[in-house]
Structure 1
């Protein structure tokens, strides 16, 4: 009798556990197969940065033209600061025109606008356009590369060392799937960038006899709904690489593959990762980019306070069907901030927690420049202050 009861209990336990165990095993197996042919790969949700899939994501490898993600990031950052405009003219040096590999065939002395150069970089992966922009922004390749590495350090990227702004082979020029995903996450803060990275075809020099047809090296833009970036890469050493971004509904994800053997294999693995993300997860938006969150007092400023806004979209990610529990946002502001203040300067932090667990940490930034107050403004404030005390 005891023996029969024991057998019955075991059977009941097996049947009660097996469905969940099988489901978990199935999910793990499905996840493991997402990029099994790549050297390394990663899949993240953009707003939260949460990792949904990882394969050797910190392995240092040559990034090829995915390098241009950082090049574009520095261009967009400069525009956000108001120090560069799309209409600005950029002159091509002999050195920039001499770049090999992918190019838009710039000639020495040829001028294009920043907007046209961005098209050449984002769509055609132009090495010449990348170098021309690097020299325009910092005066030389070397100074621009210093800025690239400074930005990588600022973003906490530990696997990345840049030697050039193009991705052309150079000893010691390395990155990782993890770092590329975080660079892409940062670049996508600038929403206008996808109007370049998400364009499949366009033209340069349209009103001349040297009209040049641009076709995006990322074919998924045409064949996978929602894909709008970001950058492919290929060299004999790096093989086929891609950092892809796709958006469906409220959810945007970033998938990175290093070292695929063929373009078809690379695109296939990216497709599997995107399918996995959109079928298994959903994003719950909390804040839009540039949403006013707080006002901060500025010492000796032209105005007494400045608006602090979100620097990126802020969301919470869950498995599909999961409830959002106790979400709490906390704001921490810098103290004793004095003018001058630059637009986009980080002056606070917004954190989002779920039952005490940190989900998101994002900078709050100034929505405009603020100069120091002039003599008469400071005098009026002082007199007004004393008048209130004397009342």
Structure 2
């Protein structure tokens, strides 16, 4: 009898202990499964502009309508064409009847009305003008259909896997969609162009000599410190959308939110993403693109040396406070022999932290270096001899 009683007590004690252990373990498991950031957006994406580091995502590859955020690709193609010299900002664009007939947000182009290419670009960036978007597309490609083909081809080149454009405006159309990740890639490419940064940051603009006032639909230009680029979008189908970029302390972030419900919720959710990124991460910049790293001797050259610069910004993004032990190492080719072309790779800049590789960036020649003729080489040798004698 006594043995049976002891057995019951032991059993009860063990069961009680297991229940207490489970009770303690359960909240901890819930804490681990909780996402680090909550957003009401149907899809969201936050990344570092320079490194491409993904800081946060929610349904990043879900195909969704994006309304006027579409115009990021329209502006990207326009900026690329201007940079290649295929079009000038001063070019006169004549509005077609089709462009003038666009509904939604517009600058009310009249058929045959003439504006400069720059004025139309600013109208797209600030006023989200659908008629200006079509006019720009027609000017660049000859027709809207040809321009849409350019948009889709460029999306594929950028690695967009869940994007298909049907028009350059974002007006509702079947089979017109993107993903938060894909639109971040488009935004990242657009930010490479000073023209895009310029027009995207304009908050107000007087069109037609001041007869028509444009206000930027991206209110974060005024509401959020460091925000200097972006594109909003809204339709009943897409709801509220925003792709934006902000920079603080040399950390530039790109945020995309798609499908937020209430008015201004796309601004609120974007600020939430930006706050999360800036609070938790920092940029460690070792050198800017084009910044002189050192001068290197060049054999058989007209010039004795050439400056070596990074092909892109040398920076890494790390969690705040975890920047200790980050070092840079210059690794150059053993010898450089003329001729050298500007932009030619001459070495590597290696970034490590506690011995672990974080980043490799090409080092390139800052200028052309011509090959010296035999007479020039002979003159240099003679000059060196006389210099040594002195």
What interval of TM-score do these two structures reach, taking the shorter chain for normalisation?
Answer: 0.7 to 0.9
8 Å contact from structure 1 (residues 318, 324) kept in 2:
no
3-state SS in 1 of match to 2:36 = helix
1:252 paired residue number? 252
2:54 to 51, 55, 80: 51
The correspondence of residues 314-333 of structure 1 with structure 2, limited to 5 A, is 314-322=314-322, 323-327=324-328
The correspondence of residues 1-391 of structure 1 with structure 2, limited to 5 A, is 25=31, 29=34, 31-33=36-38, 35=39, 37-206=40-209, 211-289=211-289, 313-322=313-322, 323-327=324-328, 354=352, 355=355, 357=357, 359=359
Within 2, Cα distance between the matches of 1:310 and 1:136? 36
TM-score computed with the length of structure 1 as normaliser: 0.74
Within 2, Cα distance between the matches of 1:167 and 1:365? 43
CA deviations on 1:156-215 (whole Å, 9 max, x unpaired) are 1111111111111121111100011111111111134222212222211125xxx11111
8 Å contact from structure 2 (residues 106, 128) kept in 1:
yes
8 Å contact from structure 1 (residues 244, 256) kept in 2:
yes
2:387 paired residue number? none
Q: Which moved more, 1:250-259 or 1:187-196?
A: 187-196
1:218 deviates by 1.3
1:326 deviates by 4.3
TM-score computed with the length of structure 2 as normaliser: 0.74
8 Å contact from structure 1 (residues 92, 110) kept in 2:
yes
8 Å contact from structure 2 (residues 49, 188) kept in 1:
yes
Which 5+ residue runs of structure 2 have no aligned equivalent? 1-20, 296-305, 334-340, 378-390
User: 1:280 and 1:385, CA in 2 relative to 1: closer, same or farther beyond 3 A?
Assistant: same
3-state SS in 1 of match to 2:167 = coil
Which 5+ residue runs of structure 1 have no aligned equivalent? 1-13, 296-305, 333-340, 369-380
1:385 deviates by 8.2
- How many pairs does the alignment contain? 347
CA deviations on 1:65-90 (whole Å, 9 max, x unpaired) are 11111111111111222222222222
RMSD: 4.3
Structure whose alpha-carbon radius of gyration is higher? 2
3-state SS in 1 of match to 2:243 = strand
2:9 paired residue number? none
1:387 deviates by 12
1:311 deviates by 6.8
3-state SS in 1 of match to 2:278 = helix
Within 2, Cα distance between the matches of 1:52 and 1:311? 25
8 Å contact from structure 1 (residues 189, 311) kept in 2:
no
User: 1:69 and 1:281, CA in 2 relative to 1: closer, same or farther beyond 3 A?
Assistant: same
Within 2, Cα distance between the matches of 1:286 and 1:51? 21
3-state SS in 1 of match to 2:326 = coil
Within 2, Cα distance between the matches of 1:154 and 1:177? 17
3-state SS in 2 of match to 1:285 = strand
8 Å contact from structure 1 (residues 309, 367) kept in 2:
no
8 Å contact from structure 1 (residues 290, 367) kept in 2:
no
Q: Which moved more, 1:352-361 or 1:159-168?
A: 352-361
